[in-house]
Structure formats: C-alpha cells, structure tokens
Amino acid sequence: MLRALKSRLLPVILSLCLLSLLSGCTRAASPNTTTAARVITVGFSQVGAESDWRNANTQSMTEALSEENGYRLILSDAQNKQERQITAIRNFIQMGVDYIVLAPTNETGWDTVLTEAHAAGIPVIVVDRMIEVADDTLYTCWVGSDFRKEGRTAVRFMDGLSENSLRIVHLQGNLGSSAQIGRTAALDEGLAEHPDWQLVYRGTGDFTQAKGQEIVNDLLDEQLDFNVIYSENDNMAFGAIAALKAHGMIPGRDVTIISFDAGRRALELALAGEISFDMECNPLHGPRVDKIIRQLEEGIQPPKLTFVSETSFDATITREVLEQRPY
C-alpha cells in the first residue's frame, strides 16, 4: 500500500521540483531582461557648416547618434574656430558626458584640453581630420580619410592630361587642417616631379564657395593665364566655375578642374564635363562612430586609426553611378 502511494506521488514531487527550479531561473533572469539600456550622452564638437561635405557629415552623425539608437547627442558648431571647439570640449567635461567626439578644425593645439578630458576619464573619438598631440593616449581613436593619398590620386590624373604645360591655380582649404595639409603636400610632390608644371597662384579659399569664387574672379580680372584649377574641395570648385562662366569661359574646356569630396552636386558637374576629376572624401562617419562607441561599451578597444576607403570620378561617370551616390 505504502509502496503504491510512493510510486504515484514520486512523479508529482519531481514535477514540482522541476517547476520550482524553472521559476527560480526565471526570477534570476528577470532583472537583466527588464533593465533598460542606458542612454549614452555624446558631446560632438563639429567644425562648422562651411561645405556640402560638412553638412552631409553632420547629418550622418545626428542620424546615427539619435535618441532611437539610445543616444543623447549634444552638437556644438564651432563656426570654423578652434577656440570655440576648446570651449565646447570644456563644457562637455563640465556636463560629464560619456563620450566626446571631435571633428577638429586643425591638427595642432589640442594637448591642453584633451589632457583635461583625459583627467576627467572621458574617451575622445576624433573623426575626419587628424590631430597631432605629444601623447596619443589623449584620444581613444580616430576615423577619417587619408588626405595625402586623395591628393596623390588627383595628381596622378593630372599626370595624364594632354596639355604639355600645366599652369595651375591652387585653391587651398583651411590652412592647418589635415585635409589641406595632405592635399597640398601631394600637389607639392607633383610639382617637384614635373618641372614643366607651373604653380601660378596658391591661396586659401577656406573650403567655401564664396571664397573660391572671389579668388578666381580676381585672378581673371587680373588676366592671369592658367589652364588647371586644383581645388581642395567641391564648394570652392563651384565658386571657381561660377567665376569662369561670369568671364565667358567654359569650365572643362578652357580650364581643367580637379576637385575633392565628390558630393552629388559636384558629380552632376562631372557628368556635364565641367569638373574633370573629383576625388571622393567620404563624410558618412556617423555609423562608424556608433560602432566605435558600441565596442567601447563592451570593453573592446577599436583600432587606433581607421582610414576609410574612397574612390574617384572622371569623365567616364554615368547617370546610374551618380544616382547611387548616398550624398
């Protein structure tokens, strides 16, 4: 009788034990599954809004570091002034942000403020242009373009131009920015290798359309003789094209235009034959910075330097290629 009772009760007792074990597991797991992911606060010090490239970059950053993606983004526009970036970084430190993202105006002058960020324990991610600091542990990592390589690719194109003597107008970007330093260094290498190339004008157009137009207008008024414009970005090239047209010249026929960035607006001009060569500078750093932050959150150290891969465009560009460009 006792034996029969035992054999009937045993499965019931075992099931109860299993149930209690399972509910124990569920209880233990619940704090993790119900805890909301923390909102990550990012202070982003942006250079300004000097070019189409910059606007595409700001858009990429705000889209990737959005509320829906778990961020609180504090965007600060430095209007092209390094002092404003330094002030913005100090404000971010005061606020106690989780990360600082810096798109620097220039390469130098960051040691003091980044030492302050370091002392506050805030990781600094540098995007786009590079920085030069005595101690590179002051920033966590950098992602951006190889500006000298971009310049060298453009110079290789100039090598193949049919004109036997190039008389070059060189529109530089903001002096001291690595975009300017790299692209200028590449042209200097080209000039050193080609004694028949003449640099007839060099000056900064600050990466803006207005300055590019003003410079080329003045050169044409002075009747300077040139047949190539090496413009360190698209916006200065737009200004140069407007000035050439205002003087009755045909861009692409009378003057060969070399440009950098390869935004859609510029590629329309490449398709129309007005820009002869455009070297891509990729502005879509938002998803890259998001990935870096996710890695850091998981305790993974991202690569110190990441160069993005870029392409170039010339007269062979087609409408189909243009339509596929995301910016």
Does the protein bind ligand AHR through residue 53 (CB under 6 A)? yes
- What whole-number distance in Å separates Cα of residue 248 and Cα of residue 223? 13
Q: Which of 43, 129, 130, 243 binds ligand AHR (CB under 6 A)?
A: 129
- What whole-number distance in Å separates Cα of residue 232 and Cα of residue 168? 13
Q: How far is the CB of 237 from ligand AHR (least distance, A)?
A: 10
Q: How far is the CB of 109 from ligand AHR (least distance, A)?
A: 16
Does the protein bind ligand AHR through residue 233 (CB under 6 A)? yes
Return the closest-CA partner of residue 234 out of 203, 257, 198, 260: 260
Does the protein bind ligand AHR through residue 184 (CB under 6 A)? no
Q: How far is the CB of 51 from ligand AHR (least distance, A)?
A: 4
Judged by CB under 6 A, the stretch of 17-25, 45-53, 134-142, 266-274 that binds ligand AHR is 45-53
DSSP state of 70: T
- What whole-number distance in Å separates Cα of residue 275 and Cα of residue 268? 9
Q: Which of 71, 139, 207, 230 binds ligand AHR (CB under 6 A)?
A: 207
Amino acid at 166: L
Number of residues that bind ligand AHR (CB under 6 A): 12
Burial class (CB in 10 A: 0-12, 13-18, 19+), 189: middle
DSSP β-ladder status, 312-314 and 167-172: unpaired
Q: How far is the CB of 127 from ligand AHR (least distance, A)?
A: 9
Strand partners, 313: 278
Amino acid at 172: Q
Q: How far is the CB of 207 from ligand AHR (least distance, A)?
A: 4
Does the protein bind ligand AHR through residue 92 (CB under 6 A)? no
Q: Please, what is the Cα angle at 176 between 127 and 257, to 5 degrees?
A: 90
Q: Which of 141, 179, 181, 228 binds ligand AHR (CB under 6 A)?
A: 179
Closer to ligand AHR by CB, 205 or 252: give it. 205
Strand partners, 170: 202, 230
Q: Give me the DSSP letters along 74-96.
A: EEEE-TT-HHHHHHHHHHHHHHT
Q: How far is the CB of 101 from ligand AHR (least distance, A)?
A: 14
Q: Name every residue whose Cβ is closer than 8 Å to that of residue 185 and which is 6 or more positions away in sequence.
A: 148, 151
Does the protein bind ligand AHR through residue 146 (CB under 6 A)? no
Q: Which of residues 263-282 bind ligand AHR (CB under 6 A)?
A: 281
Q: Which of 45, 51, 231, 256 binds ligand AHR (CB under 6 A)?
A: 51
3-state secondary structure of 204: strand
Q: Which of 230, 260, 277, 313 binds ligand AHR (CB under 6 A)?
A: 260
* Interface with ligand AHR (CB under 6 A): 50-51, 53-54, 128-129, 179, 207, 233, 260-261, 281
